[in-house]
Amino acid sequence: MTLSVKDRVYAAAEQISAERRPTVSTVRALAGVSNADATRYLKEWSEERQAAGGQIAAVPAALLEQAARLAGACWAEASGLAHERHAAAEAAWGQEKKDLTLEIAELVTDLDKVSAERDAAVTELTARIVALETQVAAAGEQLARAQAAEQEAAREASAASARLAAAEARADTLQQAHDALLDRITPATPRDDRPGAKPARGEKD
């Protein structure tokens, strides 16, 4: 069914009025009518709409009073429900806040306990480290002294060995000199041919 020019203008005006105030140019473009038709029927549409608004405003006072009472009752009911919901939400939030506060307090207590245990452990480990470092230092000093003593003992042993060798060499030399001197100053004795007799000094067997 093909709409008339008036219907097209009215439809365009209704559609445009949902978003903004319709004008002749917007109605003419949307309805596809001439400028004159758009001007004419848009004016009629506006007048009819204003008349409809005036009729709505001319509602009987009794009906308006009943509507006001109904609106008041609805508003009171809505306010009561909103108040109840607000009170319930406030109570829930209060309980949640209380629970969160308690949980935070417990977490703080646990954190303090853990921090104290950590500090105690750090203190103990620090003391143990200091003690171990002291022991290591003492052991190092003892090792150094032992090494020094070992080196000194080795030097003394080497010196003693050298002195012993020198003393033995001197003793051999003195013994040889002593023997040679005795040979020179001791006269020869007659040979004793008896069995078991010792040869005289200066004689060979």
Q: Tell me the C-alpha to C-alpha distance, in Å, between residue 60 and each of 14, 50, 52, 70, 74.
A: 28, 19, 15, 15, 21
pLDDT tens digits, one per residue of 144-175: 998 998 999 889 888 988 998 998 998 889 99
Sequence-separated (6 or more) residues with CB below 8 Å from residue 189: 200, 201
Cβ–Cβ < 8 Å for 172, 163? no
- At residue 198, the pLDDT reads 54
Cα–Cα distance measured from residue 196 to residue 201, given in angstroms and rounded to the nearest whole number: 15
Full-prediction pTM beyond 0.75?
no
Maximum mean pLDDT: which of 1-5, 13-17, 120-124, 143-147: 13-17
Three-class HEC string of 29-47: HHHCCCHHHHHHHHHHHHH
What value does the mean pLDDT take over residues 50-62?
Answer: 66
Q: Which residues contact 188 (CB under 8 A, 6 or more apart)?
A: 200, 201, 202, 203
pLDDT for position 190: 54
Maximum Cα–Cα distance for the chain, whole Å? Answer: 187
Identify the weakest region by mean pLDDT among 64-68, 99-103, 142-146, 196-200. Answer: 196-200
Instruction: Provide mean pLDDT across the span 177-192.
Output: 74
In this structure, of 21-25, 77-81, 162-166, the range with the lowest mean pLDDT score is 77-81
pLDDT tier for residue 68 given thresholds of 50, 70 and 90: low
To the nearest whole percent, how much of the chain has pLDDT over 90? 34
Is the pLDDT at 58 greater than 80, yes or no? no
